[in-house]
Structure 1
Amino acid sequence: MKYIFTLVFAALMSIQMYAAEKQLIRISTNQTDLILQVAPNGRVYQSYLGEKLRNESDLEHLEWRVHPASDASVVERGWEVCSTSGNEDFFEPAWSMMHADGNPSAWLYYVSSSVKQVPGGTQTDILLRDDKYPVEVTLHYVAYPEENVIKTWSEIKHQEKKPLLLSRYASTILYFSSPSYYLTEFSGDWAKEVQMSSQQLQFGKKVIDTKLGSRAAMHVQPFFMVGLGKPVEEKDGDVLMGTIGWTGNFRFTFEVDNVGNLRVIPSINPYASVYELQKNEIFTTPEFIFTLSKGTGEGSRNFQQWARNYQLKDGKGTRMTLLNNWENTAFDFDELTLKNLMKEAKDLGVDMFLLDDGWFGNKYPRDNDKAGLGDWEANVDKLPGGVSTLIRYAKEAGVEFGIWIEPEMINPQSELMEKHPDWAIRYPNRETYYYRNQLVLDMSNPQVQDYVYSVVEKLMEENAGLAYFKWDCNSPITNIYSPYLKNKQGRLYIDHVRGVYNVMKRVSAKYPQLPLMLCSGGGARCDYEALKYFTEFWCSDNTDPVERIYIQWGFSHFFPAKAMCAHVTSWNKNASVKFRTDVASMCKLGFDIGLKDLSEDELLYCKTAISNWKRLSSVILDGKQYRLVSPYKSAHMAVNYVSEDRRKAVLFAYDIYPRFKEKVFPVKVQGLNPDKMYKVEEINLMPGCQSVLKMNNQVVSGDYLMKVGLEVFGDKSLQSCVIEFSEQM
């Protein structure tokens, strides 16, 4: 009774404060304002989300948004920032919960708010509390002024005697009022990631989600763009760009209501996940990160700069070029083969040799993908000297050594399965279904988390000098039952992902300088929560340079080039080694190709291209990126990078499949200093070939390059050019 009286008194005080002075909560970057308001009913609503308002006094004119209604009794239906099921709102809620007495409602009232400084920004925390039940939700917002990015998440806890059943748990709700809305989503499949498609949102709901549990983004990536008023464009128009930090099941809901307003709800997918929240347990939703920008190019640069500064592991550090053995050997190798490849890596000029799948398992050797997962001991037949001998060979060759692991997975043919069959996610009384001949380890189990962590720890402790991990995840969750959770299966999808993050966090804390590649059967893991602990991710198993142009174009909307791994392989032999290398060079460069398959000129070209990439890596990896010509709108593609001081720039241009006598236009570079002069030089030329660039080795103003441009496109398929711009003093 005392608890209810306190809440009622607080609500009355809140209403009195509102009458005296409008209570606004301002969350701002240098370009965007998100204005929240405590309404007369004591609840919090969104008053404004858009371009930053210049005058503080103008905020007093904002009103909390209400839904027009013919019935005056529902006038208080508004843009509630934490709308819950069971209240007077008619549309999709952020939260749904069932109390022990069967009541499915929650009405959340403002209690307090606070502001504190965090690295790079300002964090605002807003405490809300139910007036009938001991339930509270805290809303968190971090605004990064310089990068124009806002990050938001929520926490819920309660003091009820019995568990609170959660069936929806969104990170936030954002509201928009615009004449029209156009969604761009990123979907596909293995080897066909981030295919972009757009549609106009009409009345009702559009849902993008995944139910795969692990390798969750195999069919749809966890980010989107919404054009406000017109379809998204690179340099024009208001656009919302958002992504969720969750490597498991996620859901984006876009709902246009009866009067044409849009609500955007990012969340964990509640599919098969009615979560029993215990007393005093805190349920934390994933971080949702968004930017409002003028065009997608500006929004991408916001995300890329923010990631390098605050979210990506070692975001300001360098990246190693590498040679991977997979395309050379697959599972079939021995110490001598690898030793020779390490020498090739040094001869090529890369920094590291990466040993891929197939190096482990003894009772059940990893000679194919049917056995060995879980048994992380070097195979004595292939590698009698173990991993430490390979590291010694690498050092003798003059390169670093990295290794592939898939520690969250298990093959039925493994010693681990014999010892711990209860560690695998699978039904107790049905025939087991295997995806790629493997099962997913139950990461909701703390013992399994300790084991997975120990895989990395043991390799690191026993093999001094191990410099890199490629961490794979090839299977979604199948046979969806946790032996550990028993009668609490509603927690599986959520606690499994929390377990994965817990291990990643432990590894990163123990080995803060260790670079790691995030991989998941290609590009099915690419979220900004995991990237707190990984330096980069593998975009796709598809390394065909034509397909990679589209894949890398798509991922570039949300990720910096230094986070995106791209390798030169033998895929698509219709494309020259130059074309394949130039495509990979627009990201974090690697090779997975046998030098013996290259001609003398091709090998010399690759060495030169690697040298150029290393020399210009600070521009490519840390510079501002400008997407110039879209492969979705042309038979060509172009992108350029500009250093922070604008003294250096690099342009990548590709002719994909031009049509006969197709008219092409000059490419206008972006981001240069219009008042400075730049030397124009084509690099990455094949030995003996001369540049056909008309302005090669000439000096011209940044103004000219941005307004008139360069003729870099041709009429032949699978041609490329790389151009360096250097400011002249």
Structure 2
Amino acid sequence: MKIRYTASIILFLVISYCRAQTIIPIETKDFAMVFQTDSQNRLWNVYFGKKLDNKSDYQQIDKHYYFPSSNAGMYNAAYTPSGTWNLSEPALQVKHFDGNLSTELHFVNVETQIKNEETITKIELTDPVYKLTVVLNYKVWSNLNVVEQWTDITNNENGTIELGKYASANLYFTNKDFYLTHFQGEYLKEMQPTEEKLTQGIKTIESKLGTRAMLLGTPNFIVSFESPQDEDNGLVLLGQLAWSGNYKIDFEIDSYKNLRLIAGINPYESNYSLKKEETFKTPSLIYSISNKGTGLASRQLQSWAKKYRVLDGEGDRLTLLNNWEATYFDFNESKLSKLFKDTKDLGLDLFLLDDGWFGNKYPRNNDDAGLGDWQENRKKLPNGLGYLVKEAKKNKVKFGIWIEPEMVNPESELFKNHPEWVIKQPERPAKLYRNQMVLDLTNPEVQNFVFNIVDTLFTQNPEIAFIKWDCNAVIYNAYSVYQQQNGIPQTHLYVDYVLGLYKVLERIREKYPKVPMMLCSGGGGRADYEFLKYFTEFWPSDDTDPIERIFLQWNYSYFFPAITMDCHVTNWGNQPVKLKVDVASMGKLGFDVDVSHMDGKDLDFTKRAIKNYNGFKHMVLHGEQYRLASPYENPFAALMYVEENQSQAIMFNYLSSNRFMERVTKRPIKLKGLHNDKKYRVKEINLYPDTKSTIDETAVYSGNFLMTVGINPEIDVKRTSVVLLINEVE
């Protein structure tokens, strides 16, 4: 269904009144963002808050706010231009075809499309002097209170224009106080939260790394209104810029203590030229709004992701054994065949062959050679990958493989043959990151090369069932020979690299739509909802110590459903295997272990735990998640996943502090998400051999009791993790 509106019509979403002003509400089930034109047809953001019952009431809003901005320009513009009378941080900076740097935007029309569960509103703005068109797009999933917002910028001028800044979204909030939670970090310490009250001025979170943005920070954020964020209370906006390169998100408190939020591609060294009749589409800002705290906001976003965005988000996931920590680069066919048997013996679905299987002239025996030469290493694998696929199949397990197709070692045939394919300043010494450099994906030849890596693997071995796609380098010395030779400005590189990568992934998914692929990028370097159109899952961090993973996975859960998070049991940490397995079970379970080194009880426990996981993983992957006790506020963490019909749930409880305490959980933990009137039994599973549960399995509790009083999992230094299965009593 398609409905078109102009400033002179009163229809479903647009209300006009005596001064020819137009009102445009962008509504979800519970909230509304309202725009209004003034007498000169400029468009202003006049309201964000609870949706009003009567749409005609929106025309009364503006007269009750008084925020004149003549001292600084356009505080609450729907999309703030620069160079005229605006002195605030702009969303749009343009150098017009004649060199003029000023832009003005006036409202033209609004169009709404309703398709199934999505409503898309397109607001068209134009410069009254120059033929520049800006379309603000708002895609709304009303029942989930989720909005996806982006901008289309079209050049209809008489020549090429240059975009200096081209934000995806420009939001405005008039609440009294604002608290920002953002997630910074470093390698092995990704996704570390910081909450701060925003004060007058601009707080910016950004990346200039080119790739692997989360190495230092993430494009995820939480804005809490009026008070610090709370899991179950308060108005929050939980958002992410869905872009896999450099980003910049500004949070500006203006002179009236209101919040201006401008998010988009980082303009750092990224001026972008548009020829006549060309359109630039910005990446999306995706956000979930809740008036019941971060818990509801994240459940809304997780539900949206599984149903509408993540590849195979409502499907299954394969448990796996990875050879990395068992062999590193030192393996052969015999060692791998033994690991196939271990995979089957543990009860896992898939064996994943990691780094080191390729390169001949420059063999991949460590990380300083061979990357880019994607032929089987004849010494390690004389019979090729086809033999391994068959051997895995004989053991009734699937076979997956690691690649890092965007990168190259200088010690490789690829680099020797095509040095012009590498991003590198021609007059500067090479700067390596982990002994590698980045291929220039702005170049269509390089795009074909990367696509053919994957295509050849599948063409020669069609039963490969999984791809682990790595990316370990950042972009140093940004320069493209291809762009220089084709008259493309070097300032396009950071943007066109990401767009080139998306083109490759689109081709892969067009030909191979269903094969699961993991994003693995030197830790949690590339998890975003543009990439997750093409990938089924991501690797949160190379830090797999279970204590650290409790915190990491907790923080990622604000933005991503468990079905997207790869959580592996490894040799990291000195904690018992039970804690490692229980922590990894709160996502997609995998193992990086040498099974031959496990003692008998550990091995027995692990097999039983994998069997248990296969019994409850439907709740972890597809249920609703509730965070119960934060490890930042307690010496323990607790969270649960509830089946849609509330008949079953799984609860994870972890000791997250190594300080001595006789009994960590001195009080019961209140459960969430159950049916108030249903009856439940609670059973402890994943018990280590020769241990007994302290939980009374015969007791019957009402949902009301479990959510009002709770249950004590009895975490202590001897019971460092407790997994509870909650079943409805018929």
Coarse TM-score class (shorter-chain normalised): over 0.9
Give the 3-state SS of the residue equivalent to 1:377 in structure 2: coil
Given the alignment, which residue of 148, 152, 174 partners 1:155?
Answer: 152
The equivalent residue for 2:524 is 523
The equivalent residue for 2:413 is 415
The answer to whether the 8 Å contact 2:74/2:80 transfers is: no
Given the alignment, which residue of 80, 85, 88 partners 2:82?
Answer: 85
Q: 1:68: Cα distance to partner?
A: 3.2
Give the 3-state SS of the residue equivalent to 1:389 in structure 2: helix
Q: 1:76: Cα distance to partner?
A: 8.4
Given the alignment, which residue of 114, 138, 141 partners 2:135?
Answer: 138
Separation of aligned partners in 2, 1:691 and 1:634: 23
Report the AA paired with residue 333 of structure 1.
Answer: F
Give the 3-state SS of the residue equivalent to 1:112 in structure 2: strand
The equivalent residue for 2:314 is 316
Judged with a 3 Å threshold, the aligned counterparts in structure 2 of structure 1 residues 60 and 700 are, in CA distance, closer, same or farther, namely same
Report the AA paired with residue 227 of structure 2.
Answer: K
The equivalent residue for 1:559 is 560
Q: 1:66: Cα distance to partner?
A: 7.4
**1:261-280 superposed matches below 5 A:** 261-280=258-277
Q: 1:168: Cα distance to partner?
A: 0.7
Q: 1:254: Cα distance to partner?
A: 0.3
The equivalent residue for 1:23 is 22
Judged with a 3 Å threshold, the aligned counterparts in structure 2 of structure 1 residues 92 and 75 are, in CA distance, closer, same or farther, namely closer
Separation of aligned partners in 1, 2:478 and 2:554: 35
Judged with a 3 Å threshold, the aligned counterparts in structure 2 of structure 1 residues 16 and 125 are, in CA distance, closer, same or farther, namely closer
The equivalent residue for 1:127 is 124
Give the 3-state SS of the residue equivalent to 1:172 in structure 2: strand
Judged with a 3 Å threshold, the aligned counterparts in structure 2 of structure 1 residues 20 and 376 are, in CA distance, closer, same or farther, namely same
The count of corresponding residues between Structure 1 and Structure 2 is 716
TM-score, normalisation: structure 2 = 0.95
Q: Deviations over 1:497-552 (max 9, x none)?
A: 10111111211121111100011101010010000010000001110000101100
Q: 2:262 matched to 1:260? A: no
Q: Alpha carbon RMSD of aligned pairs, Å?
A: 2.0
The answer to whether the 8 Å contact 1:254/1:265 transfers is: yes
Separation of aligned partners in 2, 1:675 and 1:373: 59
Q: 1:21: Cα distance to partner?
A: 5.7
Q: 1:64: Cα distance to partner?
A: 7.6
**1:270-669 superposed matches below 5 A:** 270-293=267-290, 294-486=292-484, 488-573=489-574, 575-657=575-657, 658-661=659-662, 664-669=666-671
Q: 1:614: Cα distance to partner?
A: 1.1
The answer to whether the 8 Å contact 1:67/1:77 transfers is: no
Long gaps (5+) in structure 2: 1-5
Separation of aligned partners in 2, 1:363 and 1:419: 13
Q: 2:211 matched to 1:209? A: no
The answer to whether the 8 Å contact 1:601/1:687 transfers is: yes
Judged with a 3 Å threshold, the aligned counterparts in structure 2 of structure 1 residues 240 and 11 are, in CA distance, closer, same or farther, namely closer
The equivalent residue for 2:676 is 674
Q: 1:634: Cα distance to partner?
A: 1.2
Give the 3-state SS of the residue equivalent to 2:518 in structure 1: strand
Q: Which moved more, 1:95-104 or 1:712-721?
A: 712-721
Q: 2:239 matched to 1:239? A: no
The equivalent residue for 1:3 is none
Given the alignment, which residue of 116, 127, 152 partners 2:113?
Answer: 116
Q: Deviations over 1:14-71 (max 9, x none)?
A: 9996536642222211122122222221122112112222222322312289763496
Report the AA paired with residue 557 of structure 2.
Answer: S
Q: Deviations over 1:129-169 (max 9, x none)?
A: 11001110111110101211000000101122332111111
Judged with a 3 Å threshold, the aligned counterparts in structure 2 of structure 1 residues 96 and 13 are, in CA distance, closer, same or farther, namely farther
The answer to whether the 8 Å contact 2:72/2:87 transfers is: no
Give the 3-state SS of the residue equivalent to 2:492 in structure 1: helix
Q: 1:284: Cα distance to partner?
A: 0.9
The answer to whether the 8 Å contact 2:665/2:712 transfers is: no
Separation of aligned partners in 1, 2:271 and 2:8: 34
Q: 2:201 matched to 1:199? A: no
Give the 3-state SS of the residue equivalent to 1:459 in structure 2: helix
Give the 3-state SS of the residue equivalent to 2:401 in structure 1: strand
The answer to whether the 8 Å contact 1:240/1:291 transfers is: yes
TM-score, normalisation: structure 1 = 0.95
Give the 3-state SS of the residue equivalent to 1:700 in structure 2: strand
Q: Which moved more, 1:154-163 or 1:539-548?
A: 154-163
Q: 2:172 matched to 1:175? A: yes
**1:42-53 superposed matches below 5 A:** 42-53=41-52
Judged with a 3 Å threshold, the aligned counterparts in structure 2 of structure 1 residues 214 and 16 are, in CA distance, closer, same or farther, namely closer
Q: Which moved more, 1:86-95 or 1:261-270?
A: 86-95
Separation of aligned partners in 1, 2:73 and 2:568: 56
Separation of aligned partners in 1, 2:63 and 2:542: 49
Q: 1:660: Cα distance to partner?
A: 3.5
The equivalent residue for 1:4 is none
Q: Deviations over 1:407-439 (max 9, x none)?
A: 000110111111211000001111111111100
The answer to whether the 8 Å contact 2:15/2:24 transfers is: no
Report the AA paired with residue 548 of structure 1.
Answer: R
Report sequence identity in percent.
45
Q: Which moved more, 1:505-514 or 1:249-258?
A: 505-514
Judged with a 3 Å threshold, the aligned counterparts in structure 2 of structure 1 residues 22 and 111 are, in CA distance, closer, same or farther, namely closer
The answer to whether the 8 Å contact 2:191/2:214 transfers is: no
Report the AA paired with residue 93 of structure 2.
Answer: S
Judged with a 3 Å threshold, the aligned counterparts in structure 2 of structure 1 residues 470 and 264 are, in CA distance, closer, same or farther, namely same
The answer to whether the 8 Å contact 1:120/1:310 transfers is: no
The answer to whether the 8 Å contact 1:426/1:482 transfers is: yes
Judged with a 3 Å threshold, the aligned counterparts in structure 2 of structure 1 residues 551 and 707 are, in CA distance, closer, same or farther, namely same
Q: 1:691: Cα distance to partner?
A: 0.3
Long gaps (5+) in structure 1: 1-9
Separation of aligned partners in 1, 2:714 and 2:95: 61
Separation of aligned partners in 2, 1:449 and 1:201: 42
Report the AA paired with residue 698 of structure 1.
Answer: A
Separation of aligned partners in 2, 1:310 and 1:436: 36
The equivalent residue for 1:708 is 709
Q: 2:60 matched to 1:61? A: yes
The answer to whether the 8 Å contact 1:653/1:713 transfers is: no
Separation of aligned partners in 2, 1:194 and 1:728: 40
Give the 3-state SS of the residue equivalent to 2:18 in structure 1: helix
The answer to whether the 8 Å contact 1:655/1:713 transfers is: no
Separation of aligned partners in 1, 2:182 and 2:350: 35
